[in-house]
Amino acid sequence: MSVVIGRRTALLMTLSGLVSACGARVPDSGTQPDPAANVAPEVLAMYGALEDNGFQIPAVNPRYLIPENIRTEVDLSITEAPGAIIVDPWQRYLYLIRGGNRALRYRCAVGDQGRSFSGEAVAQYDRVWPSWRPTDNMIRERPDMYAAYADGLPGGLQNPLGARAIYLFRGGRDTYYRIHGTNEVASIGHATSAGCIRMYNQDAIHLAASYVRGARVLVLTPEQSASAFGAYVPKTTPYTGASFNQDPQSAASPATTATTGQPGYSDPGYAYPDGFPDSPYSSSQN
């Protein structure tokens, strides 16, 4: 496989990160800045609230719509056929290959160390608002978190798989790894999941409508990632969300609810660019 991203694009990505990291902090005047103030209207619309098959998907809080998290089309010279999916878990991006050396790039969350999918697979099929059951290994390793869901959980806003899931097969067999949506929007850009590849629900819907069933999925090795995209390290650090089965009423953060209008979890321990203080919506660990 040969992957080359335009040097100008890569440089712009790097410079964008440096500006974000080094920008001067505005003294606290007692008034919270509007997180949507610097987000383009078309981006707000792309990640706005929407109704989907009877479910009301909340808008992604604008504070998470930093440039590196926004779905965009990029130059990508690659030998893979259009419709293939390339996942770079090291830079935490998913690419849907198009023709003419172009690709759609989505920000994603990936598995934490030791639980990530690797190698090749086939995007066998997708499901709308899929049901979910933790694997036997997940139940065995974390019965406190997963045993309550041993009989499965129907699709919906509280389901860890979100609005869409693409099922990855290898050798004709289910790998039990998925590319899927999530309501845990603060986890996007982190290595935090139980191995699956998470996306904003809005992006998961977009990808499920655009990918090719039966297409090849390739998850890059560190060497492939560095060769294609350089030794870029995401600014985001490990995310620690609330327990999946934590009582939403006891865990709700008043600040989160006031800001987003949605139930949320206080999560002062995780670090996102500039240290955003909350993790809105529901928490999940897949």
CATH assignment of the domain containing 214: 2.40.440.10
Q: Is residue 41 part of a domain?
A: no
In this structure, the chain runs to a length of 286
Q: Where are the beta strands (DSSP E) in the chain?
A: 3-5, 50-52, 55-57, 72-78, 85-88, 93-97, 102-107, 110-111, 119-128, 164-170, 173-182, 191-193, 197-200, 215-219, 264-266, 278-280
User: In the prediction, which pLDDT does 262 show?
Assistant: 27
Which residue segment(s) compose the domain that 133 sits in?
3-24+63-280
Q: How far apart are CA 206 and CA 105, in angstroms?
A: 11
Tokens of 261: 């209008």
Q: Is residue 79 part of a domain?
A: yes
Number of domains in the chain: 1
User: In the prediction, which pLDDT does 91 show?
Assistant: 87
Tokens of 270: 């995780």
Express each pLDDT in 250-265 by its tens digit: 333 323 322 222 222 2
Q: Is residue 255 part of a domain?
A: yes
Q: Is residue 47 part of a domain?
A: no
Q: Is residue 54 part of a domain?
A: no
Q: Is residue 118 part of a domain?
A: yes
Per residue of the chain (286 residues), give pLDDT as tens: 544 454 434 333 333 332 222 333 333 445 566 666 788 999 999 999 999 999 999 999 998 998 889 999 998 877 788 999 999 988 899 999 998 889 999 999 987 754 567 899 999 999 999 998 888 888 898 898 888 889 999 999 989 899 999 999 999 999 989 999 998 888 898 887 566 899 999 999 999 999 999 999 999 888 888 888 776 555 544 444 432 323 333 333 323 322 222 222 222 223 333 333 333 323 333 4
Q: Is residue 37 part of a domain?
A: no
Express each pLDDT in 102-133 by its tens digit: 999 999 998 775 456 789 999 999 999 999 88
> Are 194 and 117 within 8 A, CB to CB?
no
Q: Is residue 52 part of a domain?
A: no
